[in-house]
């Protein structure tokens, strides 16, 4: 994602020009561009915000504001994504951002896309402890769990969650997928998950493979 070239929309988000973001999204929709493409451009803008924060150009206030602009944009795009989706009623799964991590913009995009594709999602929210995942698997009997994490310490939480699922004797009953900014195939292997996806579409593809 980091290598994605910024479009005008991505640049406007990176520069925290909220009004321009709204205007450019309306233009893109009027031009018939797909909501998913627009989300991709916004995500690239968030990557740029992350880079500016890392370089010390932006502080926490800017990080927070970028999140608010992104969320506002998603609130506008979500109805368009929902109207575009099929409704084949494909099965249920659990999604959550793991313990110690409060980033949820990406997780919520994944959930929106899953719901558009006919899946029912039990959302554990953010900072979800291993016990919350175990409890939800027990209560719901789902066969697929998705964990999101954006900070590197989330890897340990993912690993602890997989271990807790194993200890509860439930590991054989569920497939586990992970995703979120810094995750990778290496992280997947480290935490003991079954699948790593780089974006929301890959989460839907994996859910189709497991649940449909």
Binding site for ligand B12 (CB under 6 A): 43, 46-47, 49-50, 53-54, 60, 63-64, 66-67, 100-107, 109-110, 146, 148, 150-152, 177-182, 197, 199-200, 202-203
Residue with Cβ nearer ligand B12 (24 or 48): 48
Residue with Cβ nearer ligand B12 (17 or 30): 17
Cβ 148 to ligand B12 shortest distance, Å: 3
Cβ 119 to ligand B12 shortest distance, Å: 12
Residue with Cβ nearer ligand B12 (30 or 119): 119
Contact at 8 Å (CB) between 99 and 51? no
Report phi then psi at 201, rounded to 5.
-60, -40
Cβ 154 to ligand B12 shortest distance, Å: 8
Residue with Cβ nearer ligand B12 (43 or 117): 43
Cβ 47 to ligand B12 shortest distance, Å: 4
* Exposure string for 12-48, b = 16+ CB within 10 A, e = fewer: bbbbbebebbeebbeebeeeeeebbebbbbbbbbbbb
Cβ 102 to ligand B12 shortest distance, Å: 4
Residue with Cβ nearer ligand B12 (134 or 158): 158
175: its two tokens: 């497939």
Report the 3 state secondary structure along 47-103: HHHHHHHHCCCCCHHHHHHHHHHHHHHHHHHHHHHHHHCCCCCCEEEEEEEECCCCC
């Amino acid at each position: 994602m980091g290598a994605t070239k910024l479009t005008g929309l991505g640049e406007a988000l990176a520069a925290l020009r909220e009004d321009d973001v709204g205007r450019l999204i309306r233009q893109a929709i009027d031009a018939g561009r797909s909501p998913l493409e627009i989300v991709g451009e916004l995500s690239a803008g968030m990557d740029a915000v992350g880079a500016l924060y890392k370089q010390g150009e932006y502080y926490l206030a800017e990080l927070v504001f970028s999140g608010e602009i992104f969320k506002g944009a998603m609130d506008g795009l979500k109805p368009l994504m929902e109207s575009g989706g099929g409704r084949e009623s494909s099965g249920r799964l659990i999604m959550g951002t793991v313990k110690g991590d409060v980033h949820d913009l990406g997780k919520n995009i994944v959930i929106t896309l899953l719901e558009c594709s006919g899946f029912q999602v039990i959302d554990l929210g953010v900072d979800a402890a291993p016990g919350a995942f175990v409890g939800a698997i027990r209560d719901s009997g789902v066969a697929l769990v998705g964990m999101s994490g954006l900070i590197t310490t989330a890897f340990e939480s993912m690993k602890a969650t997989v271990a807790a699922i194993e200890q509860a004797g439930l590991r054989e009953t569920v497939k586990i997928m992970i995703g979120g900014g810094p995750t990778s195939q290496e992280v997947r292997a480290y935490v003991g998950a079954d699948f790593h996806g780089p974006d929301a579409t890959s989460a839907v593809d994996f859910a189709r493979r497991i649940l449909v």
